[in-house]
Structure 1
């Protein structure tokens, strides 16, 4: 039996916990229990990944901090606090890869819904109204995928497969990327924004990306373009987005993530025309928790056998390189 593992959970536990328990002395902690159970633990599995409890419960004594933290999500922004990132003895891993194809399929579905106005069609159906109208094609339309990690790449590959013209936006510009072709860096970002019919946000939330889609970025987008956000809500200045949508500069948006979740009932995003709201579910498909649990188990076995861990996060950058 290995060192102590603490599993932070909310309303459910990992399905394969018997196998996990065979490899580590496992204890389960709610947010309220975590401050008492985290100090002295060797490993933390953040099965409830969006909880702020880890930062609040992190031991003051670095010697009592976990040596490995695994996050059951792709984004690790709640774990980029100084006591963790500044401790060189702490390894942070995430669940990169589990969400790639599900989110890519979700983005394609959102783009189709916007282009074909499926929400309007469903409204007419509920009203028993027969209203034929033209819809838009997506083939040949231009997409800028902002975020060139594994999720952004899966999005790019799928959108290319249905005939869309795709480019990327990231920190390092290049013209020969296998998935994006052209990747716009900061110097040419405005050009990419001005050409895109759809801008898809798939970037991680880091100090460098927080609020990156502000009023100036929205103004640089092509008039009549649409925004799709499957990254993090805090990437976007929501009041500026509401202004761009209300004023008609943007034709619409499909938003799966928000600055505050659940999205408050008073938010104008609920009722703005051309806006699709979904409750942070782009990556949640049948058996997604199974895949999350299996990835952690594989890393737990790797650690027990002294092999390199998968998905080690660069704590300075906030994502897996």
Structure 2
């Protein structure tokens, strides 16, 4: 029987839907145990991963029968695409499965950070009443600046307009005459978007071009009352520079869901930084999106394996 390995969490019903045709090894501990993972994929034809399982040359060498990698999400920086292509391994991300989840996360961050009052719990419990100091701003009438304008960013823009926000974006890979720019202010340069927006939200993959895209210089172009949200990829923000900007009051706040190292290391440069909200890479993961993405990924993997079986027969 054809074997599929699932190394990270997935909707149990979607995983079980594969068991009628395949041998399914569903073990979320494999992502933490590399030798066990390599042993598990030795005779596997499919593997399903999230963002922490490295599908690299080492894993591909250990899995000579592998035909498909199902990605529970859309980011592919943990998957060596060139190595997969060279070996004829199909990579199938779950496009469109978590757009609404990420969009809601971004707008939640915008609402919380603009109001500024959500950092007051400790002071309140200490008997303080910092009412005047915590009068914040509405998102209505403010500008949401999207760095990257793909499907998730466009979903975020649609919802932001319902909150009476103006939307601006920078995406050098989207043609200037593309219909997606309707109702959006297009910036030709990242620098001008950073200077213009009240809320900056990142929607880019991690590449050599985007690594530390938001560095000290970029942060310096943002207004002191602006806020930054990163639910895209760790490494696109220079965390040390962000921490410095927040400590010095050169930025009003930030919300990060992704990091250069996950989980965060002891003594992180973000420790003790004010006006900062941290979450553990869950912007795209809700009960609903997990079920959608899991079903999509199960279907993607099943389709590839079915086609492979038909060709071999």
User: Under a length normalisation based on structure 1, what TM-score does the superposition of the two structures give?
Assistant: 0.82
Distance of 2:101 and 2:65 partners within structure 1: 34
Name the structure 2 match of 1:43. Answer: 46
Give 1:85-104 correspondences, 5 Å limit.
85-87=85-87, 89-104=88-103
State the Cα deviation string for residues 220-258 of structure 1 (Å, max 9, x = none).
223432111111121111122222223322222111111
More helix by share: 2
Name the structure 1 match of 2:54. Answer: 52
Distance of 1:85 and 1:215 partners within structure 2: 37
C-alpha distance 102-83 of structure 1, shift in aligned 2 (>3 A): same
- SS across alignment from 2:287: coil
Name segments (4+ residues, structure 1) moved above 4 Å. 304-307
Name the structure 1 match of 2:311. Answer: none
Name the structure 2 match of 1:34. Answer: 37
| RMSD over aligned Cα atoms | 2.7
Contact kept, 8 Å, 1:177 with 1:183, in 2: the verdict is no
Contact kept, 8 Å, 1:173 with 1:184, in 2: the verdict is no
Contact kept, 8 Å, 1:270 with 1:277, in 2: the verdict is no
- SS across alignment from 2:48: strand
- SS across alignment from 1:258: coil
Are residue 153 (structure 1) and residue 143 (structure 2) matched?
no
Structure 2 segments unaligned to the other structure (5+ residues): 309-313
Contact kept, 8 Å, 2:224 with 2:251, in 1: the verdict is yes
C-alpha distance 197-41 of structure 1, shift in aligned 2 (>3 A): same
Are residue 73 (structure 1) and residue 82 (structure 2) matched?
no
Distance of 1:283 and 1:168 partners within structure 2: 21
Deviates more, 1:226-235 or 1:23-32: 23-32
Structure 1 segments unaligned to the other structure (5+ residues): 308-321
Contact kept, 8 Å, 1:230 with 1:257, in 2: the verdict is yes
Name the structure 2 match of 1:141. Answer: 142
C-alpha distance 304-264 of structure 1, shift in aligned 2 (>3 A): closer
